[in-house]
Structure 1
């Protein structure tokens, strides 16, 4: 066998796919740690290498992949718009760097989505998070209890002995809270699909819940409530007779709309209940100012930068006016509105909504509980995007692209086109559920 054939065989192997998924997910989850201990250039180099390896893996498997189903059209449109924003950006080089970062993480997620199925992806995320959460807890114990000194290089304040908040290796309490909720969803799915033993499942869920609690993040409670309600709703739909399932779906949709309307009307009381008044006040001031700048470029925005670039307009000016040092809009939707305008926000909402509907319908009719991971993760990302911009960078963007890809692999026009060549009629109705 020639060296070239050996390389292709290695890139196409299942063992390499598993190793790649674990390595890439670890790099994405620890992006803050890598940048803090090394440099932003080091992180960019790691992501670039992983993206190039991912492209090589997809090329090695090209005979088993369909170009039409490589990535959702809405995702490609969003990435294309981010690239096009180079044309009207105030700093084309920074915008290009921001776009390459967006593209690099997207390629990694697309690669994982094609070389690993849903259960394998869930298990890879679960295995990665178990280790990272254990490391976070161990470092917090060392910093806050044993040594009683902050680990500034790791961004750990050492407040565990006083009950938190703690940050772990993820930089901020809100990021730790978000990661912990992602872990809880993943651990429960692993447990329910018997991918891990009962003891490992109990320990994993306990670890995730403990760190979520110690993060003292005001968003964790909101995420927990949203995911809990969604889980109950999905359980009801899954146990409803097929003949009545559509009616139940519409009723639940109406209830969600009503709850959202009530939540908006009672937002001030909810904020006081969560004891997040000052935190929300900071966000409200920021968002109001962002809307003033959006009014100047409402359609296209100021160009895609991702995390706010230092010295760039309007980010620096916004921080100057607020006498603060925000690195994002603390809201993914406002960040997109500021950087890509209403066009970008519309694309983002469309791709999220389409993926949510598709994944929810698939999870409603499939017997295996693993299909619930995608809609529950999309709900987590959508809700967290109201308070942070995690969904647009690093692991948040990787998880979003993974969910978009999973949802796009079923109930899409691509299936119909593929079916036209095979003569098969794809359907996910009650008569075609799998075990």
Structure 2
């Protein structure tokens, strides 16, 4: 009994919650390195054990939780549809494995989201990414300068001495660029919320900016511009009086719509400006090929797999026709359309779209700058999803679920049900 009481007290402690959050974040963002240095089985075991520990912590803290608000409804529906695709998939074993990966990373996000508030999440993520970016830079220095040999076991090509591109411990320059943008958003929010001093924030931002440049990833520029514009727009809304905020929101929505239309119309000129013609041309060929396969299963798709299985149809056939070795559609929306059909794509857009709207409204009304972290992160995920499929696997999926949960905790229809049961009226006052 004494030992049981001690375990329960340990699992329910604040120290355990922080240590668990940092461990989960480190494991999630190091997934590629873990799998390459050991195996996918080792990675799956680590994720599984963290899920067990997270479930134990949530059980000990169950009196602090509401079952109705445990996970976003849109997330549960999307996961259910992915599981239902087991009926028509071309390989049931791979679909189960892909679905379990979704659930595993998603559960870790839910656990962290309930154990840590927004500021605590930002601090834990900031500490984790600082360490991983330092390790990435050190590995690139060792490979590209000191030893002058590629570290093939980590996918590091050793190009630092010639100015890049570098991959760090994340497997590709685009994944490094994606992580760097997440880190920049987090480091700036840490600094602006006075969670860390300038002595730590400025070197952190400088490190992330350096790796962004060295990654030579064309998507980093697009991400940085979109997140920067979003930050400016959110700042304008936050400083607008509450009675005029609706008008400003409407004007911004119209400007975003026109900007998207203009960007689509000028897409070829933008690609030339980014000097990424061959990269985007390859993506265009892949997406056109995917659109040739979607009409065969337009509503339900070919079954959920997550990352492509090279031996499964239609993935091997797409790669064969293109003479490529793609491991994804290089676009999360096309990947969901191919694997889960139009129904799955609608559910995926609903998951992300509802989260963006909720988090934007919360950030607009709350004074603390930390509430801006969630909508900025969701915008980064949405934009990145147009160029890579990171958002449906691993760290990207983890961040999407975490942000969707965070957005739903402040603005959700389930708050009213909780209020009816507890007698507490949920409010979201516009703070000035």
Pair in the same fold by TM > 0.5:
yes
Corresponding residue of 1:409: 409
Corresponding residue of 2:256: 256
Q: Does 1:297 align with 2:297?
A: yes
- Correspondence 1:377-392 to 2 at 5 A: 377-392=377-392
- Correspondence 1:277-356 to 2 at 5 A: 277-356=277-356
CA contact (8 A) 1:185 1:376 kept: yes
SS of aligned partner of 1:428? coil
Q: CA deviation at 1:351?
A: 1.3
Corresponding residue of 1:372: 372
Alpha-carbon distance between aligned partners in 2 of 1:420 and 1:14, rounded to the nearest angstrom: 29
Alpha-carbon distance between aligned partners in 1 of 2:353 and 2:384, rounded to the nearest angstrom: 15
Alpha-carbon distance between aligned partners in 1 of 2:411 and 2:117, rounded to the nearest angstrom: 16
CA contact (8 A) 1:300 1:341 kept: yes
Encode CA deviations 1:136-195: one digit per residue, 9 max, x unaligned: 111111111112111111111111111100000000000000000000000000011111
Q: Does 1:137 align with 2:162?
A: no
Corresponding residue of 1:13: 13
Mark the runs of 5 or more structure 2 residues left unpaired by the alignment: none
Corresponding residue of 1:212: 212
Alpha-carbon distance between aligned partners in 1 of 2:86 and 2:49, rounded to the nearest angstrom: 24
Corresponding residue of 2:45: 45
Alpha-carbon distance between aligned partners in 2 of 1:11 and 1:400, rounded to the nearest angstrom: 26
Alpha-carbon distance between aligned partners in 1 of 2:374 and 2:156, rounded to the nearest angstrom: 31
Q: CA deviation at 1:209?
A: 0.5
Q: CA deviation at 1:427?
A: 2.0
Q: Does 1:362 align with 2:383?
A: no
Moved more, 220-229 or 152-161: 152-161
Corresponding residue of 2:119: 119
Query: TM-score, normalized by length of structure 1?
Result: 0.98
Structure 1 moving runs of 4+ over 6 Å:
none
SS of aligned partner of 2:21? helix
RMSD: 0.9
CA contact (8 A) 1:381 1:391 kept: yes
Mark the runs of 5 or more structure 1 residues left unpaired by the alignment: none
Query: TM-score, normalized by length of structure 2?
Result: 0.99
Corresponding residue of 1:3: 3
Encode CA deviations 1:338-384: one digit per residue, 9 max, x unaligned: 00001110001011111101000000011100000000000000000
CA contact (8 A) 1:411 1:427 kept: no
SS of aligned partner of 2:296? coil
Alpha-carbon distance between aligned partners in 2 of 1:222 and 1:409, rounded to the nearest angstrom: 30
Moved more, 417-426 or 115-124: 417-426
Alpha-carbon distance between aligned partners in 1 of 2:164 and 2:376, rounded to the nearest angstrom: 27
Encode CA deviations 1:234-278: one digit per residue, 9 max, x unaligned: 000000111111100000010000000000011010011001110
Alpha-carbon distance between aligned partners in 2 of 1:273 and 1:134, rounded to the nearest angstrom: 31
Alpha-carbon distance between aligned partners in 1 of 2:322 and 2:4, rounded to the nearest angstrom: 57
Q: CA deviation at 1:3?
A: 2.7
Alpha-carbon distance between aligned partners in 2 of 1:4 and 1:100, rounded to the nearest angstrom: 30
Corresponding residue of 2:393: 393
Q: CA deviation at 1:303?
A: 0.7
Corresponding residue of 1:62: 62
- Correspondence 1:90-169 to 2 at 5 A: 90-169=90-169
Q: CA deviation at 1:8?
A: 2.1
Q: Does 1:221 align with 2:217?
A: no
Q: CA deviation at 1:411?
A: 1.5
Corresponding residue of 1:241: 241
Encode CA deviations 1:94-131: one digit per residue, 9 max, x unaligned: 10011001100001000000000000000010000001
Q: CA deviation at 1:421?
A: 1.6
Encode CA deviations 1:35-79: one digit per residue, 9 max, x unaligned: 101001110111111111111111111111000000000000011
CA contact (8 A) 1:136 1:168 kept: yes
Alpha-carbon distance between aligned partners in 2 of 1:330 and 1:274, rounded to the nearest angstrom: 18
Alpha-carbon distance between aligned partners in 1 of 2:310 and 2:42, rounded to the nearest angstrom: 19
Q: CA deviation at 1:5?
A: 2.6
Alpha-carbon distance between aligned partners in 1 of 2:159 and 2:360, rounded to the nearest angstrom: 40
CA contact (8 A) 1:271 1:280 kept: yes
Alpha-carbon distance between aligned partners in 2 of 1:404 and 1:275, rounded to the nearest angstrom: 34
